[in-house]
Structure 1
Amino acid sequence: MSIRNLEHLFHPHSLAIIGASERPGSVGATVLRNVLASPFRGPVYPVNPKYTSLAGRAAYASVAALPQAPELAVICTPAATVPGIIRELGERGTRAAVVLSAGLRAAAPGGAGTLQQAMLDAAKPFLLRILGPNCVGLLVPGIGLNASFAHTDALPGQLAFVSQSGALVTAVLDWAKSRGIGFSKFISLGDSADVDFGDALDYLARDPHTRAILLYMEDVRHARKFMSAARAAARSKPTLVIKSGRVPEGARAAASHTGALAGADEVYAAAIRRAGMLRVLSTQAMFAAVETLARSHPLSGERLAILTNGGGPGVMATDALVCAHGALATLAPDTLGALDRLLPAGWSRGNPVDIIGDASAERYRQALEILLQDQGIDAVLVIHAPVAVVASTDIARTIVELAAKHERKLLTCWLGGDTLAVARHMCDVACVPTFDTPEAAVDAFLQLVRYRRNQELLMQAPPAGRHDGRPDWAAIRARVREVIGQGRTMLSEPEAKEVLAACGIPVAATRVAANVDDAVRAASAIGYPVVLKILSPELSHKSDVGGVALGLESAEAVRSSADAMLARVAQLRPDARLQGFSVQAMVRQPGAVELIVGVASDPVFGPVILFGQGGTAVEVNPDKALALPPLNMVLARDLVRRTRVSRVLAGYRDHPPADLDAICTVLVQVAELVAAVPEIAELDINPLLAGPAGCIALDARIGIAAVDPSAGAFDRLAILPYPEEWERSLRWRGQDLLVRPIRPEDGAAHLAFFDAMSKEDVHMRVFGGLRQLRPSQLARLTQIDYDREMAFIATRPGGAETMAVARMGADPDMVSAEFALTVRSDLKGQGLGRLLMGILIDYCRQRGIAEIVGEALSENTAMLALARSLGFHLTHEHAEGVVHLRLPLR
């Protein structure tokens, strides 16, 4: 479940407290006191058979004795009683409960599972939603509800806070109240038996009273559900995360370098980034960041200019920015010239711009206006230290006026104490972010930069990836099945390279030799120099036992190296089963860089792609970045950019840049491989040699594991990849037609499709006069979450045009889906709409969706006629001129 019946949890009109008490210090007494002390206007029913009245109100012996079914119940009774109470509430008509009780992981009476499972089983027939168990409770200040045993209430506001930690709930409540920070919802998830992060995010994304969402996260249990909900929420409002457990837990035992390098915290960081959320490291940083994100204009870029009336603070800000790898803006020549004419002779003549300590408000104004006109500047940090010659309030007034006139982001830092309180307040009221120190201001700016990058990854419409033919999936799966059938968990190096080659990844030509003589013959056939490696299923890291020899120039060198390897392995690893040698050409690329590309299997998020600098020392000096599949070229470039080795790949001095497209193509191909072949548990390409001429895999290892045959092909993936199985080749009006799911690469074609629509058709489709798609709108239409959305386009095979599109967006519960159909204006009336709608309806039926709904203007007679012929029920809203369309599928 996701959002069903959550309105009863978060906006109840009546409330029962099961286990209410007057015993001092008890949870039941605390909850009753909190509820009655809050301005909640609905009826409150204490339930406890020991009392006839509590706090001056009638008390009831049981749920059955209540005068009406409470919309929400708060349960404070012992764990063993909870399943029965949930059943009583469901039968009575209650659809939401907060279970504060702990201990439900204990065994149920009779040994049939746990009390928690018994509770869920009791709730299921009634779709009764449960927050908890073992939680602090729920606060909704907007309706005056404090259904918790927290020691204080919450101020009303527009921030939603969702936490797995009960201790943090009470601490943040106290901290926020002392600083005047208010909340729309304050939610303690506890053990998340039913309502979890995914449910909360889905509800809050649609909540008009919430403008930003804050999460304290310890773990995620349902990765696909969480990622879909998080991506949907992050598209509509800032979503920030504190994730505990940042300290590495130690390298796991793994057959691959990747398995040892991909720590759990890095995987969570990759998931948060991919979802378009922002991770922060402390509660204070979270509230500072959300206030900065929600104020003023979003960043248009990452280049910061610093304006200061003191050299020291400007240098402090610059140090903080550069040390954190931020971008200090370079002032344009025109900007420097204008500032030269304005400022005293002693000004800094660069960024930071020191306008000297005696700067008046007018000098601030003119200097700021010059900087805001510079197209090479994306944001300006204004630093002011108080001086006697000018009032700080005059400067604040100037900044506020300019912030209202310009789109570029303005941040302020007021260095000082009480004398600057009014200036700070003026900026606060005008929603201009303000900070006490240069370092805090720069840190906030960098939070904005990280958030912007994450949002770009969430909303981007990337170009088409470079692919040289389709992978040979049949050959790959046959090889994997063969190895599993032999009881092995690792492919040999030649087998792993065979799989990579079948994906289109360049690999060094490799031959298998059963003995020393075969190795010499193979080397002579390949041509010298060659690389010789020992082959053994027990020796994953061959270099650990001296099992790799490079640059062998002759048959004698191959023979002596092979004999030496056999002797070393016999001494160091007598348990190793030797299968011979692999012989490959020695690849030499001047200026090439050794990289690692790998896959690890995370127990929560499934496969994770790793990229970084390769070689034998990757675990000693790791330079790595992680991403969740599937990938495209844009996401692959971002993965590369987040490593230190990316600066080497970009070229330096007389070293030309590596072929970045070739590297990114390998990353995309590896992501496709691990998505398509769920048996692949771990994978290493190390090294992947990358240079100006491209890249080539010199060594590879692949770990495999059998999978449940009843599992779906993509069940282990946190993000559903492109559903290739829904591509359809058809004949339409005597010509070939391809109907397929939309891809992010269709951005340019979709823009041309929209531009080709007539004004009348745009009006019919969007009920308005939209004439241009913004980049974010285009990305939203083409980069969809295939787990909850679908858009089928009609195009010609091999072509780049979009002729028509039928799309649906399902609710998080996959019960109802809203559809839309658009046919290019010059192709209307030729059956394309009916064809696409038929495929869309089949798709919805297969996904188990109960109904398809939509709307059309009453004047759109063609759409209404098509809907009738497809079996839709039409309901006219004459006052609005809109017709509601509904097609039951069950």
Structure 2
Amino acid sequence: MSIRHLDALFSPASVAVFGASERPFSVGATVWRNLSNGFKGRLYPVNPKHRHIGDARAYASVEALPEAPDLAVICTPAATVPGLIAQLGERGTRAAVVVTAGLDKATRQAMLDAARPHTLRILGPNCIGMLVPHLGLNASFAHIGAQPGELAFVSQSGALVTAMLDWASARGIGFSHFVSLGEHADVDFGDMLDFLGSDPHTRAILLYIESVEEARKFMSAARAAARNKPVIVVKAGRSAAGQAAAASHTGALAGSDAVFDAAIARAGMLRVLTLDDLFLAAETLARFRDGPSEKLVVLTNGGGAGVMAADEASALGVPLAPLDDAMLARLDAVLPTHWSRANPVDIIGDAPAERYVAALEALAGDAASAVLFIHAPTAIVPSAEIAQAVLPQVTARPRRVLGSWLGDSAVAQARQTFRDAGVPDYATPEDAVRAFSMLRSYRQHQAELLQTPPARDASHAMDLPAVRTIVDAVLADGREILTEPEAKSLLAAAGLPVVPTRVVGPSAAEAEAAAEALGYPVVVKILSHAISHKSDVGGVRLNIGSATELAQVCTAMLQRVRELRPDADVQGFTVQPMVRKKHAHELIVGASVDPLFGPVILFGAGGTAVEVLADRALGLPPLNTPLALAQIARTRIHRLLQGYRDEPAADIDTVAQVLVSVSELLAEVPEIAELDINPLLTNHEGAIALDARVRVSAQRPAGAANFAIQPYPVDLVETWDWRGQAITLRPIRPEDEPQHRAFLEQLDPEDIRLRVFYSRRHIEHSELARLTQIDYAREMVFIATRLLEGGGEETLGAVRVAIDPDNRDAEFGVIVRSDLKGGGLGRRLMDKMIGHLRQRGTQRLVGVVLRENAGMLELARALGFQEGAHPGEPDDLSLRFVSLDLQNPSRT
């Protein structure tokens, strides 16, 4: 990932257009005209066939230009592109938009090879170009420009770029950036998310995606951007093709689009299905994202509009807030006697402005609900007067009001009043409810974004040697599909609850002996390496109650299998007790490997009709208990698991632990390619796996290294003897928030000021979450901890670095508890961080230190840092800039 030189791409002082032309309707002429019509920087047309393009002098080549342009826009034939890129790189240009299409594989690679020595960034090829409206920069051949605004739009489709420009222009929607990626040979979605995520001109990021190539880069960039601002995605290609040959139910159900959905949710982004919804979501998330509401109150002056809102809420699963007695009393006091006395709150069509104000003030007593304000125009009170009157209520913080002014010209001024005040506004009640539903989904995704579980829970008992023995033996035998007994043994070794299973030969006598030992009734299944789905050939029989019945079943089953699968070598039978559980539910838990996002975990309703029911939710590992519970909650069967009428609630915590165990298995055993537990039988007493199917592969498609999300780096945990005490040095975890708060609260205010330049001791939860819930691909925090006598642990010190997306510079901060300074703890934390950064290839460690912080400056000198003036603030004598070359220590 890299944002290097993207400033030259999106904020150039000079631009050269290669292939600029006066030929009507040509790409070069269109690009030149678009640039000439607004860009205030220096422009150079390049075309050896012309001395002038319009009023501008034309240049014959790169060498003829009076300077190296910051940005080059290339509209010349495909064969010329690699040579131009090489010349531009030598001259000093660091960014190019390659509009040219038709580059074959060899030419495309030659272009990238020419750019690499100079780190020249390329947008395209085969792209429309890009627009930065607040700079007047239109380096594209789009037919229309874009208005300045705070939305960034990035698209793989050039046709959609031009259509979107036209669509947005008609609606007065403005943009900070408008980017066509084309073939994204260099600059891709990950780079754009990195750049736009920290761009001050961008309030929300809109993406049109057809494909993603580097899943971990994309996920890391998306998670970083989504922490700062809303990221909304439209994804083309929602069909799941190529799944018919999957060896398991999970492989058949986990289609690529469903996996993409899971990835979007885990990254904290929001996916929508249409372009209308894209802007609907952007409007809501940009203006209303901090509203805490989960339920909705509909306030309307028309019953019909309220009913439509309520219908849409029901369809989308948006709860309408019930009106308690206290709320009814407040509303009774300010509304006519014949108001609806229910939610939707119909305040009657003749409502004056004062009634709206009074109703909103009464509803303010329910701080947990948002208010959908619906108004249909009447001849009694001008809509504009009502809008002005309610401004204090609708603009109060936190945001709680969404507006829907029904109509057109009669409510235009009122609608504009709301928009100018930053209140989200929607054309219809249904749009407003749909937007609120998106907001609820977005909040759920943001909660998942803040989870970074370990690949393996140290407290979880997995017999990894036993698991490895089973997997290695199957692969050594030249097989991929484990037999049912092997699969169950593997799951049992991984710590999952599994029904006892006996393996016998293909004789009724052996099956009878096993059944006697287990106790009737029993289940008998055919055992064959060639048969994966046993029920397809009549190879499963349940609830066998006697030896006589068992003998008949075994004989008939062997005969049926010989008829249907004469090619199958039958090893025998498996016998297991018939598990009967009251109030039981059949579930499926599975895993497969997506070609792009790697290992994926599935949960849903199980049984033989699993594909027909298709009630499932996917999640990306690593999982912890909160993430597993959130995945379970996304299914329809979750409502049954919670209990109903006289049915007790199932043990959902145990089911969640099964999902976590599967996640750990995928991390520790990279050979696992597919896994099915179906059914996983669960009730209020627990859960047990009745059947299992596992496929392994010598290609090792799983493993933590192939997770799209980097798990908690357990390998970086170490212990250290300090002053006779066992100290643990480890990366920080999300669950460290309480002890990290306690650590910060014990610091002396002066120590805080010297290290982080402020003296505030109290820190809000949102800020603590950002300190403890980190993306280990982007930043690192090592903490030193020790055990407390009464249990638990305490934090003694911490060192934190933020690593730029290029992995060039990491900026550090280190702090030790005030009563423990001077004991070498800070030095040990810094040594650990320096070693980690060197291993990951980071080039330089830098920091800004107050001149008066003599202790930190002394430590920096001892570690080999160079010291000087702050490069960004050279005249500020109170600051010192320290830097350490990590890869070439001899230079320091």
TM-score class, shorter-chain normalisation, is over 0.9
User: CA separation in 2, counterparts of 1:822 and 1:528?
Assistant: 66
1:784 is matched with 774
User: CA separation in 2, counterparts of 1:883 and 1:482?
Assistant: 61
Report the CA distance shift for 1:762/1:554 in structure 2 as closer, same or farther (over 3 A): farther
- Please say if 1:667 is aligned against 2:666: no
1:602 aligned to which of 591, 594, 604: 594
User: CA separation in 2, counterparts of 1:13 and 1:811?
Assistant: 24
Question: 8 Å contact 1:372–1:408 — kept in the other structure?
Answer: no
User: CA separation in 2, counterparts of 1:830 and 1:588?
Assistant: 62
User: CA separation in 2, counterparts of 1:484 and 1:770?
Assistant: 59
1:884 is matched with 881
1:866 is matched with 859
Question: 8 Å contact 2:284–2:435 — kept in the other structure?
Answer: yes
1:109 is matched with none
Q: Secondary structure at the match of 1:731?
A: strand
- Please say if 1:501 is aligned against 2:498: no
Question: 8 Å contact 1:461–1:778 — kept in the other structure?
Answer: no
1:810 is matched with 803
1:454 aligned to which of 411, 427, 445: 445
Task: Render the CA deviation track for 1:556-598: whole Å, top value 9, x for unaligned.
Answer: 3333222222111111111222222222222222112111111
1:835 is matched with 828
Of 840-849 and 276-285, more deviation after overlay is shown by 276-285
Structure 2 letter corresponding to 1:852: L
Superposed displacement of residue 802, structure 1: 2.2
Of 365-374 and 555-564, more deviation after overlay is shown by 555-564
User: CA separation in 1, counterparts of 2:551 and 2:799?
Assistant: 65
User: CA separation in 2, counterparts of 1:405 and 1:139?
Assistant: 35
Superposed displacement of residue 431, structure 1: 1.2
2:406 is matched with 415
2:734 aligned to which of 726, 730, 744: 744
TM-score with structure 2 length normalisation? 0.95
The root-mean-square deviation of aligned C-alpha atoms, in Å, is 2.0
Question: 8 Å contact 1:383–1:414 — kept in the other structure?
Answer: yes
Superposed displacement of residue 599, structure 1: 0.9
1:153 is matched with 145
Report the CA distance shift for 1:810/1:603 in structure 2 as closer, same or farther (over 3 A): same
Q: Secondary structure at the match of 1:620?
A: helix
Question: 8 Å contact 1:464–1:745 — kept in the other structure?
Answer: no
Of 82-91 and 44-53, more deviation after overlay is shown by 44-53
Superposed displacement of residue 463, structure 1: 13
Superposed displacement of residue 80, structure 1: 1.5
Superposed displacement of residue 456, structure 1: 2.0
- Please say if 1:757 is aligned against 2:747: yes
Superposed displacement of residue 305, structure 1: 0.5
TM-score with structure 1 length normalisation? 0.96
2:520 is matched with 528
Q: Report matched runs for 1:788-799 at 5 Å.
A: 788-796=778-786, 799=792
Question: 8 Å contact 2:308–2:430 — kept in the other structure?
Answer: yes
2:672 is matched with 680
Superposed displacement of residue 730, structure 1: 2.3
2:86 is matched with 87
1:847 aligned to which of 837, 840, 862: 840
Report the CA distance shift for 1:560/1:834 in structure 2 as closer, same or farther (over 3 A): farther
Structure 2 letter corresponding to 1:456: A
Structure 1 letter corresponding to 2:7: E
- Please say if 1:245 is aligned against 2:237: yes
Q: Report matched runs for 1:13-412 at 5 Å.
A: 13-37=13-37, 39-106=38-105, 114-249=106-241, 251-296=243-288, 298-375=290-367, 377-412=368-403
Report the CA distance shift for 1:468/1:462 in structure 2 as closer, same or farther (over 3 A): closer
User: CA separation in 1, counterparts of 2:647 and 2:641?
Assistant: 9
1:565 aligned to which of 547, 552, 557: 557
Task: Render the CA deviation track for 1:705-727: whole Å, top value 9, x for unaligned.
Answer: 1137xx99533211011111111
Task: Render the CA deviation track for 1:490-516: whole Å, top value 9, x for unaligned.
Answer: 122222222222221111112222232
Superposed displacement of residue 467, structure 1: 7.7
Structure 2 letter corresponding to 1:639: Q
Superposed displacement of residue 617, structure 1: 0.6
- Please say if 1:433 is aligned against 2:424: yes
Report the CA distance shift for 1:545/1:136 in structure 2 as closer, same or farther (over 3 A): same
Structure 2 letter corresponding to 1:889: L
Structure 2 letter corresponding to 1:882: L
User: CA separation in 2, counterparts of 1:871 and 1:838?
Assistant: 11
Of 684-693 and 52-61, more deviation after overlay is shown by 52-61
Q: Secondary structure at the match of 2:93?
A: coil
Q: Secondary structure at the match of 1:405?
A: coil
1:875 is matched with 868
Question: 8 Å contact 1:299–1:448 — kept in the other structure?
Answer: no
Structure 1 letter corresponding to 2:414: A
Task: Render the CA deviation track for 1:114-134: whole Å, top value 9, x for unaligned.
Answer: 211111111111111110011
Task: Render the CA deviation track for 1:680-706: whole Å, top value 9, x for unaligned.
Answer: 111111111111111111111111111
Superposed displacement of residue 103, structure 1: 1.5
Q: Report matched runs for 1:540-551 at 5 Å.
A: 540-551=532-543
Superposed displacement of residue 28, structure 1: 1.4
2:813 aligned to which of 820, 834, 851: 820
User: CA separation in 2, counterparts of 1:713 and 1:456?
Assistant: 25
User: CA separation in 2, counterparts of 1:880 and 1:398?
Assistant: 53
Q: Secondary structure at the match of 1:156?
A: strand
Superposed displacement of residue 550, structure 1: 1.6
Task: Render the CA deviation track for 1:255-285: whole Å, top value 9, x for unaligned.
Answer: 1101000111111111111111111122222
User: CA separation in 2, counterparts of 1:465 and 1:618?
Assistant: 29
User: CA separation in 2, counterparts of 1:268 and 1:512?
Assistant: 40
Q: Secondary structure at the match of 1:171?
A: helix
Superposed displacement of residue 745, structure 1: 2.2
Report the CA distance shift for 1:450/1:399 in structure 2 as closer, same or farther (over 3 A): farther
User: CA separation in 2, counterparts of 1:755 and 1:503?
Assistant: 41
Task: Render the CA deviation track for 1:388-446: whole Å, top value 9, x for unaligned.
Answer: 22222222123212123342410111122311111111111111112222111111111
Structure 2 letter corresponding to 1:337: A
User: CA separation in 2, counterparts of 1:550 and 1:458?
Assistant: 44
Structure 2 letter corresponding to 1:511: R
User: CA separation in 2, counterparts of 1:461 and 1:253?
Assistant: 33
Superposed displacement of residue 670, structure 1: 0.9
Task: Render the CA deviation track for 1:736-789: whole Å, top value 9, x for unaligned.
Answer: 222222222222222222222232233233211332222222222222112222
Question: 8 Å contact 1:461–1:782 — kept in the other structure?
Answer: no
2:713 is matched with 723
User: CA separation in 2, counterparts of 1:292 and 1:479?
Assistant: 52
Task: Render the CA deviation track for 1:604-659: whole Å, top value 9, x for unaligned.
Answer: 11111111001111111210111111111111111011100000000001111111
User: CA separation in 2, counterparts of 1:134 and 1:453?
Assistant: 37
Report the CA distance shift for 1:698/1:372 in structure 2 as closer, same or farther (over 3 A): same
Q: Which stretches in structure 1 are left out of the alignment for 5+ residues?
A: 107-113
Question: 8 Å contact 1:675–1:721 — kept in the other structure?
Answer: no
Task: Render the CA deviation track for 1:311-342: whole Å, top value 9, x for unaligned.
Answer: 22111111110111111111222111111222
Question: 8 Å contact 2:452–2:774 — kept in the other structure?
Answer: no
1:110 is matched with none
Task: Render the CA deviation track for 1:140-188: whole Å, top value 9, x for unaligned.
Answer: 1122111111111111122111000000000011111122211111110
Of 437-446 and 476-485, more deviation after overlay is shown by 476-485
Structure 2 letter corresponding to 1:886: S
Question: 8 Å contact 1:463–1:745 — kept in the other structure?
Answer: no
1:486 aligned to which of 474, 477, 480: 477
User: CA separation in 1, counterparts of 2:702 and 2:337?
Assistant: 71
User: CA separation in 1, counterparts of 2:33 and 2:399?
Assistant: 49
Question: 8 Å contact 1:534–1:581 — kept in the other structure?
Answer: yes
Superposed displacement of residue 830, structure 1: 2.1
2:6 is matched with 6
Question: 8 Å contact 2:784–2:797 — kept in the other structure?
Answer: yes
Q: Which stretches in structure 2 are left out of the alignment for 5+ residues?
A: 888-892
Task: Render the CA deviation track for 1:342-391: whole Å, top value 9, x for unaligned.
Answer: 2222121121111122222111111111111124x420011112222222
